[in-house]
Each structure stands twice: as C-alpha cells, then as structure tokens.
Amino acid sequence: MYVETVKKTMKLPKTVRILDTTLRDGEQTPGVAITVDEKIRIAKKLDKLGVDTMEVGFPASSPGEMRAAREILKLGLNSQICGLARVLRSDLDAAIDTGVDYIHTFIGTSPLHREYKLKMSQEEILNKSVESIEYIKDHGITAEFSAEDATRTEFSYLKEIYNAVEEAGVDYINVPDTVGVMVPASMRWIISEIKKTIKVPISVHCHDDFGMAVANSLSAVEAGASQVHVTINGLGERAGNASLEEVVMALTSQYNIKTNINTKLLVDTSEFVSRITGIKMPPNKAIVGENAFAHEAGIHVHGVLQKAETYEPITPEMVGHTRRIVLGKHTGANAIKAKLEEYGIELNKDQFCKVFDQIKKLGDKGKCVTDADLKAMSETVLGRA
Ligand code: KIV
Ligand code: ZN
C-alpha cells in the first residue's frame, strides 16, 4: 500500500534481468565445493527456474572449472552461460576456450585494492580493463565489466573507468558492493549518479555483510539498475550475496517488476541447492524457510483461516511452498478445530477441552506439538488408545 505511494515517485524498469552466480560466488561460500556433476545438476535447475544468465564458474582457476563450463554449455540451455575472468589475457582465453556466451571480467578499483592487492596505478587498471573489453568484443562475446570494490572507489575514478569500458563496447557495467558496505540510500545515490553518464544497462552485485544485500539490490533497481546478481539461498563469500528468492519476490510482488523466474520453482530449487551444498536454511529464512508460511499464534491462525492475506503477504503457492498450522503454547481453539477437521477426528466439547489443555501444558513446558501428538491425544480422549 505504502509501496504504491512511493512507487509513483520512481522511474522503475518494467523488467529486471537476473544473473545468478550460485555456481561461482555461491560456490565461494566457506565450506562449499561443488563437483562438476553437481554443477551440471544445479545448472539444469537454474535454467528451469528461468535465470537470464548463469555465472557457472571461473574457468581459469582450475581444470574442473573449465570442464564444468564446457559440460554446461553442451546442455544447450536457454540461459546465457557466463564465465568469470580477471582482466588478464590468460583468464580471458580460458573463458573463451570453454565457449561461453558471456564473460564477466573484473579488477579491483578501490585504493585498498590498487595499493595492497594489485600494486597498480589508476591508469594501468583502466588500460587493462579497456583492453580486456575490446578483446572480449573482438571474439563476439557479451561483456560485463565489474569494478571490484566499486563502493569504496573514488567516485570520479569510478565514473572514468565505467565511461572508458563503455566506449570500448562493454554490454553491461556491474557495480559490486564487494564487502557489503552500502546502505539503501547510498546505493540509490551511486546508481543514479552512474546512470547520468552511462548508457549501457547497469547491474549490481551486493554482498550481505550487514544484512542489506537484498535491500541494497532493490534500491539499485529503484535508481535505474536493470540487472541484479543473486544466488540461491543467498550463498556466497562471508555472509553471502543477495538471495535470488528474496530479490525476485520483492521485485514481482512489491514493485510489480517482471523477471523471467518461474517463482513456483523457488522452494524446490532452494531445497535442491541446500542438499547439494550442505548449507541448511534457517527455518525463518524469508520465502523458502520451513516457517515462511507457518502460523502458531491463535490470533494469527484464526485470521489466516478466515482470509490468508491477514498474516501472509504472498501465497505459499506462488513460491511452491505450503501453509502450515503449528500447534504449541500460543495455539487457539480454531487451529485445533481446523487440524481435527483435516484428519477427520470428531471430539465432543469435553474431549476437545482435554486435548486443548494438554497442548497448552506441553507448550508451557517448551515443547512443540506435532500432528502425530494431536492424533495420539485425540485417540486417548476417545478411549481408543
Ligand atoms: O564481490 C565481488 O566484487 C565479486 C567480483 C568478482 C565482481 O564477486
Ligand atoms: Zn561477489
């Protein structure tokens, strides 16, 4: 409702492209290593999900990464297949050798990266970036350029390097918030300023060090970004990247912006990636967590049973989830009645009160009451146990 009001003050894009980097930045999650075969299985899922581009790895980093890119390309998927490369001829050649359609090339641009990591001047970095874009374009491949640590780079230099790669023929410029230092207001500012000088589509890549990767990605879209880098389940270096499921559902349901994602496959994809990577989602994870559509408090359950929107912003069906009514300390009579009805159990008033009291007592002892517990309690009061 309030989003509708503020949306009128923004010039939002009609569609946003989704670049999924689960298989590259997502694989950089500490403790996660994905085999070539697993990458192939995830790539098929991502393609079915509808990601526009999938970054499948960093071909120059290992023979396995090269093989994964080649094998994924052989599948003939609908998504564009992207490989990561530093602005180095050897990295670019490795990516080109795999046959990818899209190369995401990057170099650190902030003073920290220039001084401590690269030991290169602004001019050297700019020249290497331009040469790399020209090289990618000479091979007829889509080129995206990232100024790594863009959000800690002097703004005048950032603009200069983005302008130079644009002149060299880049297809997308990407603004990585490499260590997640932005807040929504600063993200809105930087993207709107870049937009004043850059004509090619602007992409963003937000990390979640302060828990703001999704909010910052949305702010970037508000300011004119038309592509967002995301990962399934928000996997990624340190605290991770912006989560695909959260960004996509906010874009579609809150901003009315279209993506090519089949949102009904979100939970299935999230569970699949979680099984393969071994990274479990917390139950309260937005959109795909086990509790995302679970209700316990009597007041909430009563509301949801009358009209789901009272306590659900979107339906579970939209994302391939299911609604759950959970019994516990906060349960009200309506929830228990609904569960009994679901299981075809009929209790008289007295029997119902006994079950109700038992549930409350268990709840007060800090216990959750499962559906199996409810059935057992009912059997007991019915004298069948
Ligand atoms: O976070 C980052 O800056 C990256 C780059 C490779 C774009 O992942
Ligand atoms: Zn990253």
What ipTM does this complex have?
0.99
Residue 357 contacts by C-beta under 8 Å, 6 or more apart in sequence? Answer: none
pTM confidence score: 0.95
Query: Beta strand pairing status for 324-325 and 294-295?
Result: parallel
Output the CA–CA distances (angstroms, integers) from residue 269 to 18, 45, 64, in the order listed.
Answer: 15, 6, 23
Question: pLDDT category, 103, cuts 50, 70, 90?
Answer: very high
Residue to probe by mutation, ligand 1, list 144, 148, 181, 237, most atoms within 8 Å of CB: 148
**Whose Cα sits closest to atom 3 in ligand 1?**
178
Candidates 88, 28, 90; CA nearest to 238 is 28
Instruction: Determine the Cα–Cα distance for residues 214 and 218; give it in Å rounded to an integer.
Output: 6
The string of pLDDT tens digits covering residues 13-61 is 999 999 999 999 999 999 999 999 999 999 999 999 999 999 999 999 9
**Whose Cα sits closest to atom 1 in ligand 1?**
178
Indicate if the alpha-carbon torsion angle 71, 42, 260, 244 is positive or negative: negative
Candidates 384, 382, 327, 325; CA nearest to 356 is 327
- In the 3-class helix/strand/coil scheme, how is 177-236 assigned residue by residue? ECCCCCCHHHHHHHHHHHHHHCCCCEEEEEECCCCCHHHHHHHHHHCCCCEEEEEHHHCC
Instruction: Determine the Cα–Cα distance for residues 187 and 175; give it in Å rounded to an integer.
Output: 10
Q: Which residues pair with 205 in a beta bridge?
A: 176, 229
**Nearest ligand to the CA atom of 173:** 1
String of DSSP letters for 256-284: --B-S--GGGHHHHHHHHHHHH--PPPTT
**Whose Cα sits closest to atom 8 in ligand 1?**
25
* pLDDT at res. 24: 98
Place of tokens 């339906």: 315
353 Cα to the center of ligand 2, angstroms? 55
The string of pLDDT tens digits covering residues 334-382 is 999 999 999 999 999 999 999 999 999 998 998 889 999 999 999 999 9
The string of pLDDT tens digits covering residues 179-218 is 999 999 999 999 999 999 999 999 999 999 999 999 999 9
* pLDDT at res. 238: 97
Ligand 1 site residues (CB inside 6 A) read: 25, 106, 146, 148, 176, 178, 205, 207
Residue to probe by mutation, ligand 1, list 25, 87, 231, most atoms within 8 Å of CB: 25
